[in-house]
Amino acid sequence: MGSPPEDTYSVTVHPQRFAPLVEVARALREHVVATYDVSVDGDRLLPADPQAAPLTIEIHDFPMVEVRAGVAGHERFPVCGCDACDDDVEQLMADLEDFVLAVVGGGFHERWVRGGLGQSWSGRDGERSSWGKQGDRAIRRALKQRGRGAVWQPWPAR
């Protein structure tokens, strides 16, 4: 099959193909606010239970959706968006929904492992995990205060 053509890297001819992600993000935010006991501070959603992970859903002009959860959890939809990556928008929408619903459902976990931040969450396609180097002492300290990591609880319903 080979690699994509060199001129498709760092180029996005039709970024509007990601516009449905913005609609899904807005609908998820509305659903979370209507369903759970949460306070809203700008893009940040703070569950009433401090043992539940806070959630931030940011919509960028690209269009792209960035979701932060817990202490340092982070997912981007799409991660890149260039024509070479050729992300499947339907899959991105499903992944976005899975991530947000995992956070509010108590299926999101963070931990400090091997000098970096590990995160995992459950979705329709099973468990997902990632690991990345994080040099931030505040993140490491916050996770260590929760034990070896953060096993976030489900958000309380309204």
Q: Residues with Cβ < 8 Å from 154, sequence gap 6 or more?
A: 52, 104, 105, 106
Taking only the tens place, the pLDDT of each residue in 24-81 is 999 999 999 999 999 999 999 999 999 999 999 999 988 899 999 998 898 999 988 7
Count of CA atoms in the C-beta half-sphere (13 A) of 24: 23
The chain-wide mean pLDDT, for the chain, equals: 87
Given this model, what pLDDT does residue 33 score?
Answer: 97
Domain spans of the chain? 15-151
Report DSSP state, residue 157. B
Given this model, what pLDDT does residue 1 score?
Answer: 61
Which region among 69-78, 86-95, 122-131 has the lowest average model confidence (pLDDT)? Answer: 122-131
| 10, pLDDT greater than 80 | no
Report DSSP state, residue 54. P
